[in-house]
A and B are shown apart, each in its own frame.
Chain A
Amino acid sequence: MPTQQDDVYGDHISNQFNEELAELKTEFLKMGGLVEQQLMDAVQALIENDSQLAEDVRARDKAVDRMEVAIDEEATRVIARRQPTARDLRLVVSVIKMVNDLERVGDESKKIAKFAIGLSEEGQAPRGYVETRHIGNHVASMLHDALDAFARLDSEQALRVMKEDKRVDEEYQAATRTLLTFMMEDTRNISRCMSVMWVLRALERVGDHACNIAENVIFMVKGEDIRHTSMERAEEVVKR
């Protein structure tokens, strides 16, 4: 039996419209699942020196791109055919924006996979992998929670994701400092450490994208755009 949450977009007089919105939501979550997998595989490929897995990630990025285009088209069709309003409009507009964030996470994963291949070929002792694994897990769970917040229309969870972003930024700063130390110790480490830095940078960006998705979820649920405002403002809006 559908819960109250499921029914939020499913109780129009037009069943056709219900189905179109449900389809949009489902496709977005499917793309979210694929992107999550891409991210985790990319990090794993790096840490375990698994260049085959890294190649798989690069190949699957095409599928992510195709889903982005398909969801954008579907969203455009819904606007053209249904002229959605209020929460339906906010859903469609948010999906169009969030799909872009997901696609960028896919790109970052591809980038990480590329570095994983390069680093596995050099085959030296890993530097900064502890930090990479840690930040990787952190942003992967942010992405997961953001998608979960979307699926359940849970603005409080979205707010928690936004708060996590600050911690990721701090971890990123700390990891950068650690890598700098390695580079200063031995200049032969520089090339390797630079690659790991790029990976960390990519992961940090993933955190930003998860944060964007969370902001859109709050917009969808609460009807107020809290981007570029303060965390206090976001908290106020969510509490309402």
Chain B
Amino acid sequence: MSTLNTSITTDTAQRETTTQDAVSMAKEKPAEAAIEYGKTVGTPFADDAKFCLRDVEVFYGDTQAIKGISLDIARNEVIAFIGPSGCGKSTFLRCLNRMNDSIDICRVKGRLELDGQDLYDPKRDVVELRARVGMVFQKPNPFPKSIYDNVAYGPRIHGLANRKSELDDIVEDSLRKAGLWNEVKDRLDAPATGMSGGQQQRLCIARTIAVSPEVVLMDEPCSALDPIATAKVEELIAELSQSYTIIIVTHSMQQAARVSHRTAYFHLGHLVEVNDTDKVFTAPEHELTESYITGRFG
């Protein structure tokens, strides 16, 4: 009984602390016990899968970062990966074009297939894979070259254009798709680094789609952008989804709600829930998803 009383006192004391304190005491992340290994609620599987991923595990040395995730990603869908920092969503994303290969201590296990073919086949050409599965990063990273050369770089090294006019067409087409053509058509020779952050990010998207990828991975593509530039990139995602499969990692839940068809919630390396985005944001199935998207921890 005395223990109970003490806990009540503590609880009341906590309730009386200032808001600032309350924020710094942010709730403990719920225990991993609430999740069954390898179990995902909702609809993780799709009929027309571009990626078929089964029992994926990723280790950094002895630490397991991804814990038995199985997921299908459908053709031309936009799927958002959300979850608190360190939940494994970026690690998982980077498995999809083998960006983790460059990390020595990183090991990927499980079955990962792109169009039914093993992603981690030792005979697979990783450069060709990354042309098919392009990536846009958090911070815009244009090459210190002209706007034109930034977009033309990929098609050149992959030999996609035989003549200058063909290359011109690819550059224009990519910039148009990225919604940037009208803003830069008169200064294609200007250095890309002189553009605004939002323009640079759209340039990076143009550079990615210039090599005609099938999938675009986006790792928090808007976190360094202002709301207007963010809106333009989101608009672009909607348009690109007509022809590409898009997988986006985002810390902005509103962004996930706005742009994606399905939302996947990651927690401590587990894939807790995958459902239609509308469902996730109105009536999620898993308690942890609910807690995260309603701002109860994270």
Contact = CB atoms under 8 A, between A and B. Distances in A.
Contact of A13 (B8, B289, B293, B295): B295
B100 to A, nearest CB: 31
A12 B295 contact: yes
B48 to A, nearest CB: 28
Contacts of A15: 19, 22-23
Interface stretch (B148-156, B182-190, B277-285): B277-285
Given A1-B11, A13-B27, A14-B23, A84 B294 contact: yes
B153 to A, nearest CB: 39
B283 A223 contact: yes
A16 interface: yes
Interface stretch (A23-31, A85-93, A122-130): A85-93
A16 B19 CA distance: 8
A4 to B, nearest CB: 13
Given A1-B8, A85-B293, A87-B294, A13 B26 contact: yes
Contacts of A16: 19
B290 interface: yes
A17 interface: yes
B254 A83 contact: yes
A11 interface: yes
A12 B253 CA distance: 15
B294 A88 contact: yes
B254 A86 contact: no
A235 interface: no
A11 B15 CA distance: 11
Given A12-B294, A13-B295, A14-B295, A86 B282 contact: yes
Nearest to B26: A13
B42 interface: no
Interface string B70-94: 0000000000000000000000000
A68 to B, nearest CB: 25
B298 interface: yes
Contacts of A13: 22-23, 26-27, 295-298
Contact of A223 (B19, B26, B282): B282
Which range contains the number of B residues in contact with the other chain?
20 to 34
Contacts of A85: 253, 257, 281-282, 293-294
B204 to A, nearest CB: 28
Interface in A159-187: none
Interface in A62-115: 82-90
A86 B284 contact: yes
Nearest to B297: A13
Interface in B218-275: 253-254, 257
A1 B289 CA distance: 26
A90 B293 CA distance: 13
B190 to A, nearest CB: 38
Given A1-B11, A13-B27, A86 B19 contact: no
Contacts of B282: 85-86, 89-90, 223
A5 B22 CA distance: 21
A46 B275 CA distance: 54
18 contacts: A1-B8, A12-B296, A13-B22, A13-B27, A13-B298, A14-B19, A14-B295, A15-B19, A15-B22, A15-B23, A17-B295, A85-B257, A85-B281, A85-B294, A86-B290, A89-B282, A90-B282, A223-B282
Interface of B: 8, 11, 19, 22-23, 26-27, 253-254, 257, 281-284, 289-290, 293-298
Given A13-B296, A14-B295, A90-B283, 18 more contacts: A1-B8, A12-B294, A12-B296, A13-B23, A13-B26, A17-B295, A82-B295, A83-B254, A85-B253, A85-B257, A85-B281, A85-B294, A86-B281, A86-B282, A86-B284, A86-B294, A89-B281, A89-B282
